[in-house]
Chain A
Amino acid sequence: MSILSLQNVGFSYNKSTKVLQDINYEFEKGRVYAIVGRSGAGKTTLLSLLSGLTSPTEGAIIFDGKDVRKIDRYKYRSHYVGVVFQQFNLLPHLTAVENVELSMRASGKHIPEKRKLAMELLDKVELDDVLAKRRILKLSGGEQQRVAIARALSYNPDIILADEPTGNLDLATQEEIMDIFQHLAKEENKCIIIVSHSPEVANSVDEVYELAPLKEKRRKKPAMEDKVQPEN
């Protein structure tokens, strides 16, 4: 049985621009998924829907048999899904380890020895003690990305949503992160959903969903289309 499923999901930010239409995906525990697609295809938007940050304008998202729209989405976010945001969304005035601890406390789950566990998680994503105790603003993009991954894992959620989690990482680190994800899926029966452009990532997952952009109204040259979206 799938833990998360999209049923005829459609979404538009406003009346004139429709981003997603009629999406039907199934996600199961114990598997790693990749969502691929061109820039601006709506991958981040899809993750926002899956993480309950916003609700679909058409169709429904079913988590564990229940419509996400109808459950406490704060609890859903803090307990059941861990999100690695494309822009990390870490708190700059806190240190790496404090950011991880904050999510542990936010979940309200009973986690003994938060500091120790947080340090262990950071160590897993190759961040040593010195970096762990540094403020976010003083970390590099790749380091911040790894803090965001550690944070998503910290309260042991059932589902992990990661928006280009390896986008800023070298190949070796990327492989290590993918190993962590594979391990979580296979050994701890988690459901891992990764958005990625990387072919290596797409090759190492169990299933790939390709998100085709909706018919573009404006004709653009390919060079223009490759341009990165200004903001998410």
Chain B
Amino acid sequence: MMILINAFKSITRSKGRNILIGIIVVTVAASSSIALAIKSAASTAKETGLENQTITGSISVDRQKLMEGAQGDGDSGGQADMGSMRELMQQYPDLSLDELKTYSESDYVKEFYYTASASLNAAGDVEAYSTESSSTSSDDSGSEQNGMPDGMRGGMNGGMDSSGFGGMTMGDFSITGYSSESAMTKFISGESKISSGEMFDVESSDLNCLISNELAVFNGLSVGDTITLANPNAEDETYSFTIVGIYTNTSSADSSNQMRFSTAQDPANLICVSYNALKAVTDNSEAVATTSTDDNGSETTTALSMQTSGTYVFSDKTNYESFSKELTGKGLSEYYTLSSSDINNYDSSLVPLENLSSFATTLLFIILGVGAIILIVLNIFNIRERKYEVGVLTAIGIKKGKVAMQYITELLAVTFISVIIGTGIGAAASVPVSNNLLALQVSSQEAAQNSQQENFGRAGGGGQGGMQTRGSGGMFGNSTNAVEYLDTIDATISIEILGQLVGIGILLTILSSLAGVVFVLRYEPLKILANRT
């Protein structure tokens, strides 16, 4: 009781000293609370960002692993040896649709859909849409594209997901066949909209199609017309599709200034059909194909090939992770990996936030360190100043322990009040401050991304998934899928943070009062009183 009364009087009577301590603690508390809020917001975003959200994933060949595998085999020691790499790639091709379907029977998988893509040439009076002078696209289309140097194609494929054209011949158009309506993610997300006509029957194998508005306008086509397309390997093998609908792309995905090797890569030249329809086309093409053997002895066929990719839908991230484990359990080779663009995109969207969070952590330690040092020094001076008081209190018979307790109580009270005020300031400032800091991080991240893109012509994204596209893959593949960074966080101060701050306050108080306590306990009252002035 006496301790409390003395402490209270002492605080109220010597404001100057306490205000100084208060200001320091308020500053420490305010900045610590912001730092803690940022940290906790970052971890919450990481943990809960994808909670209760459906996740799509696909199984693909892990090129990185293949490369490492090839490196391990090679005699050249370290250097990736192209021969063994090619060998491994042949040994581990993309999984077949049947295999993908088998895996999809897992309980963890909510839904499975797939798309197939192929490339066809213009035939008759249809021309591929192009923003460049029309001569390049129509006249020397098809065969010219095949003249693309191998190295260049390889480089391109490396940058993209499993969606490249491998050994495929490139035509003017890309055709994607969808297994179900959920496969048509662009139409679900609203990125593409049917502007006239209607959706084809996704189950049917009739040759019905959707074409883009650009293509329709470019060729003067409308719903009900037919377009005739040819196998780029065999120009007289043609297929006629009935246009049942025309769609527009809401996001024009800056298609104009993209470097393209083929008009097929222009989203405007994407023709959407049902999987069954495309399957019917390739089956037919297979049936009528001719094979030839060239000088090197390798076989080529005129059969139209298609690239299939399957997408698994999971009800949440846990199921995705369980499925991934199950795949390994079922004996899927280590060279295949389940990856999710949702998770990859989300992870890369968190990069600035994580940078900010680690910056906040460093800052927190600096603030606490500097704060502690200042407080310790301040307290040493205070106690020296209060020597006389210690002498008087002990001379009138108050035990040293109690005097020390009184000083700690004073400090605790000042610290506690300052922590509350500081936290209040922190609470008010943390949301705008952290969002501003995050915006800075995002823009510096974007700047880094842009310069990387300028220099290397592709998105870096830290090596992971910057270019991954959803299921339908291939044909959209080239449009740079810029990462959308998470740029707002809810950095509010929770009870937990408040608890941590109070803990910090107590720790600082005890640390900083240590010097004073040692002083109080060491001196005899007579010595203090005798040594004053």
Contacts and interface: CB of A to CB of B under 8 A. Distances in A.
Interface in A36-80: 48, 53-54, 74-79
Give chain B's interface secondary structure class: helix
Interface stretch (B7-15, B62-70, B148-156, B260-268): B7-15
Nearest to A48: B526
Contact of B397 (A54, A85, A106, A232): A106
Interface stretch (A2-10, A88-96, A209-217, A220-228): A88-96
A158 interface: no
B530 A232 contact: yes
Contact of A94 (B9, B396, B397, B529): B9
Contacts of A91: 389, 392-393
What are the 7 A-B residue pairs with the smallest beta carbon separation, nearest first? A78-B397, A77-B397, A93-B13, A105-B2, A53-B526, A106-B398, A89-B392
B495 interface: no
Interface of A: 48, 53-54, 74-79, 83, 85, 87, 89-91, 93-94, 98, 102-103, 105-107, 151, 231-232
A90 B524 CA distance: 17
A105 B1 contact: yes
A54 B395 contact: no
Contacts of A74: 394, 397-399
Contacts of A98: 9
B451 interface: no
Interface string B376-395: 00000000000001011111
A48 B530 CA distance: 11
Contacts of B392: 89-91
Interface of B: 1-2, 5-6, 9-10, 13-14, 389, 391-399, 524-526, 529-530, 533
Nearest to A53: B526
A102 B395 contact: no
Given A48-B526, A103-B396, A231-B533, 4 more contacts: A74-B398, A93-B9, A105-B1, A106-B2
B9 A83 contact: no
A74 B396 CA distance: 8
A110 B522 CA distance: 30
B395 A85 contact: yes
A105 B14 CA distance: 21
A9 to B, nearest CB: 16
A118 to B, nearest CB: 14
Contacts of A48: 526
Contacts of A103: 396
A98 B394 CA distance: 17
A166 to B, nearest CB: 21
A61 to B, nearest CB: 15
A148 B391 CA distance: 15
A116 to B, nearest CB: 17
Nearest to B1: A105
Nearest to A80: B397
B305 to A, nearest CB: 93
A89 B2 CA distance: 19
A93 B396 CA distance: 16
Given A94-B9, A105-B1, A105-B5, A231 B530 contact: yes
Nearest to B2: A105
A105 B396 CA distance: 10
A151 B394 CA distance: 15
A102 B6 contact: yes
A39 B139 CA distance: 123
Contacts of B530: 231-232
Given A54-B526, A93-B13, A105-B2, A75 B396 contact: no
B14 to A, nearest CB: 6
